[in-house]
Amino acid sequence: AIRNNVDSRVNFLEGDLFGPLEGKGLEGKAQMVLSNPPYVPLTEREKLEPEVRDYEPHAALFGGEDGLAFYRRIIREAPSYLMKGGYLILEIGWGQANEITGLLKAEKYEDVFVRKDYAGIERVVRARVRRASRLD
């Protein structure tokens, strides 16, 4: 931020997912939440290349037994901070699109869209928090 001369406009918060935002008056104000959470299932650990498995921080790689632990939390907690119609955008692992889109549709999201990378692999999921209806 200093190097790019934006330090007066940027605040860095460190903590467990949305924890650092609690009590800061940000509920319902974010237009977008973007995340590249750990998504490798622990069951896949031994299948990883040694240079990844042995040298990358495990906290950055593994998302629980099925790789979806962080997605469940983010999908559940993000609507508290997103404005109605705000977007949640997630990088996903290979073969996780169906499960993650199912989690989104079961929660407070609509317009769920999956984007493929240049290799044709489903890599990003975008969803919008349901907009207010007349019943809200």
Dump pLDDT digits (tens) for 18-72. Answer: 999 999 999 999 999 999 999 988 888 888 898 988 899 989 899 999 999 999 9
Q: Which residue has the higher pLDDT, 52 or 101?
A: 101
pTM: 0.87
pLDDT of residue 133: 54
What is the Cα gyration radius of the chain? 17
Looking at beta carbons, which pairs linking 67-72 to residues 24 or more positions away fall under 8 Å? Answer: 67/38, 67/39, 67/40, 67/41, 67/42, 67/93, 67/96, 68/39, 68/96, 68/99, 68/100, 68/103, 70/17, 70/35, 70/37, 70/38, 70/39, 71/37, 71/39, 71/96, 71/100, 71/103, 72/103
